[in-house]
Each structure stands twice: as structure tokens, then as C-alpha cells.
Copies of this chain bind each other. A is one copy, B any other.
């Protein structure tokens, strides 16, 4: 019954997602640009391919979890891409955070080859990916989504359907990442205000996290923002910038002015200019503390 799965892209998120598929008993072949990252998967029982095309079986499922739109296009339609091989009745399950425009483009590409394209971007940090606790939103042809149900279930705690438009799920993902980034900035401002008015930002964060803002995203991020440091990187700041660039691109195309999106974008760009691209993206809020002179005081 179960189709062969080619899983392409073993970054911080992809590794845990692919592992859950293997553990759930799927026939998984993985591909990653740097081979070293395939070791753990191989140990779990996955096959390892040397190219995206090699990872995929005709009529099977190609799952992509790669860094950005251009890498996605390359692994799909590039020289070593799996696009031509996926063939009739294949399904491309596209899980990266990408532009809805790219989804529309790839959906057309696959349609011409008898394949289906389903967008299913994910919400959750690497720990959630490893635990199979991601939230998934999806959009694409009904029949394909039905066939993918067991695959998606193995990776996420819930799946939310946004209809058949190829890029719809990507729009939701962009809106969500924007909201998270906006919350990081908002918390940065709120906790800096507290700190500079005699109340520990950490105490304020703890209060809000168990009362009106008692949501996963707040509970995860509030202590990190209040502490103004993140030892572990869950999501690279440079990738956060990529996502907010996609948000602003969608904002531009659809003529939707978004002032808060501009603020978080500037924070991320400034962090890049200061050489913080490989820090966790929570550190976008560090700019707030710097503007408030809080970081100077720390040093002195």
C-alpha cells in the first residue's frame, strides 16, 4: 500500500521529520546536500541517495524540506532534480516555507507531468519536529491530500486543510511566521519597558505566559526574549529574514501595507549587518534592548 518516499533536505527540521517517517514504517530514501547529515537516518533504516532524482521513485512521494525557494526549484526542476522522475501519479509534498508564487509555479510544472503538488508547511521548533508534534497546514488536490494523510500524521500532531489552491497553505505559513516575529518584537519592547521601569522583564514574562498569553508560542519564546540570550539555535536568524522577505513580497504583490512586518524586517536586517545571521531568530529583539541602552549598561 505505502508508496516509497524520497525525503529531500535534512536541516534542523527535516532530520526529525524524516526520522518519524522511518519510525512509522515508511519506505524512506533521504537526500541531503552534505552527506554527513544522512548518517543518523541511515542508522535508523533509511536509504541514502546521492541526488534528489535518485531519492525519488516513479509514482512515489517526494517530500521537500529545503532552505528556500531557489533550492526547492533546483532539487525539483534542476539537472539532478526529481521532477521528471516522479512521473505519472507521483505526489510532491512541499513542506518548506516558500512563496505561494513558487507553489503555483511548481503545481503547474507537476500537473503537466501527471503529478500532484501539495503544499504542507509546518509550525514548530526542531524539538517538535523530532517529537512528531508539528502543526501542519496543507493545500492542494483533494485526492492527493487524502493519500498523504498517514504520512502527514506521522510528522504532525494535527493537519489543517486550506483548500485546493496550491499556495494557500504557504500564505498561512507566512502569516504565522510574521505573527511569531511580531510577537518577538512585541515581547522585546514590553520586557524592556518593564526592566527600565523597575520590574523584572523575566517576572513579567512568567506572569503573561501563564495567564492571558498562555499559548505555546508565547511560553516557548517569552523566557528567551526576557533573558536576552539564546544558547541553542532553533531557527537561524538568517532564515527568519528569508521568511520575512517572503512575507513582504506577498505583502507587496497583494498591496497590503504591513508596518509591523517592516519593523521586524528592519530588526532582522540590522542583526545581519551586525553579523548575527547564525544566532537564533529570537535575537531580533536584541535591537530593542540596544536602542534602549540596556546592552551598554550590561557591559559597564
Contact = CB atoms under 8 A, between A and B. Distances in A.
Interface SS of chain A: helix
B260 A212 contact: no
Contacts of A51: none
Oligomeric state, in number of copies? 4
A178 to B, nearest CB: 6
A185 B265 CA distance: 16
A263 B263 contact: yes
A233 interface: no
Given A100-B198, A172-B204, A183-B183, 12 more contacts: A123-B212, A162-B199, A175-B190, A178-B190, A179-B186, A193-B250, A254-B292, A256-B269, A256-B273, A257-B288, A257-B291, A273-B293
19 contacts: A100-B198, A123-B211, A123-B212, A171-B197, A171-B198, A172-B194, A176-B190, A178-B186, A178-B189, A179-B187, A189-B259, A196-B256, A197-B250, A212-B216, A214-B215, A245-B252, A255-B292, A270-B292, A273-B292
